[in-house]
Amino acid sequence: MTAPDERRPAKGRAVAPPARSVPGTSAPAPDERRPAKGRAVAPPARSVPGTSDIARRTGPAGLPAGLSRAQLLELYYFMRLTRSLEERLTNLYRQGKVIGGLFRSLGQEADSVGTAYALDRSAGDMLSPLIRNLGSLLVMGARPVDVLRQYMAKATGPTRGRELNVHFGDLERGFIGQISHLGDMVPVMAGVTLTFRMRGERRVGLVYVGDGAMSTGAFHEGMNLAAVRRLPLVVVAENNGYAYSTTLERQTAVTELAQKARAYGVPSERVDGNDVLAVYEAARGAVARARAGDGVTLLELVTFRRKGHAEHDDQHYVPRELLAQWERNDPIARWAARLTESRWADQAALEAADARVAAELDEAVRVAEQEPLPEPGTALGGVYAEPASQLAPWYREVPRG
């Protein structure tokens, strides 16, 4: 029997990032794809630089991608916050305080943080995450204490103990909570971005799928609808090698997820998902395209799931040498090294960021831990807008069970 890694050349080259743009997967120029019939809200002619322009552009101090020192350091902070929060959750899980499953994004932090960071929150951009996009939520302004409350089923959490883990949303902060049915958020975000378009708002949506979610019908329908309406949507395809225990080879007959974009007539890019700057730059370009009215872009982020599907899963099916390879390609270690080697930040600044993360999480855990579970009776409300129509009138008088 062939070991999975032997049939996975892309995965084998752990440290070698994939080519930024994959020939053959880029779509024709926007003008060729635009339907002859003009849209109600015609996108303006644009002069937004493409990704490669942004990549080349450096600030006055030799800083990359038009980001300030503070922003470059902030990318580090959010990745560190993501990892440390998950580590705290792991401890709480082992103590039995995290009640449901725990889903780690270890090694994928650059993917979540870099993409979400490319959105313009002040413009009202929105995203919808997947289970391994805790970092995206944190960038959008989700508070660690609320994530802890979610995992510990606290009454004080955003869903008051009704939903678990990162399944929560906040329209004000710009994220819509996912459900467990993979692919479903693609049509939903198509509707969100359709609304941006109908209202003439220059807002952008971003939605995550994985190598597994891309096999669902909902993904296909949503992607096709968004593409055909040229909606301002960025679709981030996280290729982390495994959907639970199923390898990419058993999930799809293509070797690169970016290839699927061609079937929808949208441009794509394949990016090293463990290089936060490359992820940010690619996402920034896709967001700019969307905002300019040029429609959907699919970004494939090549990364790796370094923990099991959830904490209970020892991922015995993942070859040890593959894990070791990707451990050496850690996105946080890479970014820390790049920051200091490029003199964009010094070691003291990184340590200060680490200390800030630790202090914030100490406080968040302290607060969340002592909070109560919801009262049983609160389970009944809020099914409908009007309380009166929730239940049959005599239901409450009939003994349960």
Measured distance CA(97)–CA(199) in Å, rounded: 44
Q: Which of residues 334-393 bind another protein (CB under 8 A)?
A: 382-386, 389, 392-393
331 is an interface residue for another protein by CB under 8 A: no
Write down the least CB distance from residue 227 to another protein, Å. 10
Specify the residue, 168 or 280, whose C-beta has the smaller distance to another protein: 168
Instruction: Select from 12, 59, 141, 191 the one that contacts another protein (CB under 8 A).
Output: 191
Contacts of 197 (CB under 8 A, 6+ apart): 39, 41, 229, 231, 232
Q: By the 8 A CB rule, do 387 and 380 touch? A: no
Q: Which pair of structure tokens corresponds to residue 280? A: 């940010």
Instruction: Select from 73, 138, 176, 350 the one that contacts another protein (CB under 8 A).
Output: 176
**Angle, helix 276-291 to helix 331-341, in steps of 10 degrees:** 90
Write down the least CB distance from residue 42 to another protein, Å. 11
> How many residues sit in the footprint of another protein (CB under 8 A)?
44
Q: Which pair of structure tokens corresponds to residue 139? A: 């960038």
Write down the least CB distance from residue 220 to another protein, Å. 8
Specify the residue, 168 or 344, whose C-beta has the smaller distance to another protein: 168
**Angle, helix 109-117 to helix 331-341, in steps of 10 degrees:** 60
Contacts of 217 (CB under 8 A, 6+ apart): 183
In one letter, which amino acid is 75? L
Specify the residue, 23 or 38, whose C-beta has the smaller distance to another protein: 38
**How many CA within 13 A on the CB side of residue 357?**
23
Instruction: Select from 21, 159, 325, 340 the one that contacts another protein (CB under 8 A).
Output: 159
Write down the least CB distance from residue 156 to another protein, Å. 14
- Scanning 14-22, 188-196, 240-248, 362-370 for contacts with another protein by CB under 8 A, the matching segment is 188-196
**Phi and psi of 217, rounded to 5°?**
-65, -35
141 is an interface residue for another protein by CB under 8 A: no
Specify the residue, 218 or 310, whose C-beta has the smaller distance to another protein: 218
Exposure string of 58-84, with b = 16+ CB inside 10 Å and e = fewer, is: eeeeebbbebeeeebbbbbbbbbbbbb
**Phi and psi of 269, rounded to 5°?**
-145, 145
Q: Which of residues 218-247 bind another protein (CB under 8 A)?
A: 218, 221-222, 224-225, 228-229
Specify the residue, 70 or 171, whose C-beta has the smaller distance to another protein: 171
Measured distance CA(315)–CA(126) in Å, rounded: 33
- Name the CA dihedral angle for 279, 75, 142, 209, rounded to a multiple of 10 degrees: 10
217 is an interface residue for another protein by CB under 8 A: yes
188 is an interface residue for another protein by CB under 8 A: yes
Measured distance CA(29)–CA(50) in Å, rounded: 12
DSSP state letter for 381: S
Write down the least CB distance from residue 262 to another protein, Å. 17
Measured distance CA(143)–CA(200) in Å, rounded: 31
Instruction: Select from 46, 56, 94, 181 the one that contacts another protein (CB under 8 A).
Output: 181
- Scanning 68-76, 194-202, 239-247, 342-350 for contacts with another protein by CB under 8 A, the matching segment is 194-202
169 is an interface residue for another protein by CB under 8 A: yes
Element containing residue 10 per DSSP (H, E) = helix 9-12
Write down the least CB distance from residue 73 to another protein, Å. 33
In three-state secondary structure terms, 93 is helix
What character string, x for contact with another protein (CB under 8 A) and - otherwise, covers 100-139?
----------------------------------------
Q: Which residues bind another protein (CB under 8 A)?
A: 40-41, 159, 162-163, 167-169, 171, 176-177, 179-181, 184, 186-195, 198, 217-218, 221-222, 224-225, 228-229, 382-386, 389, 392-394, 398
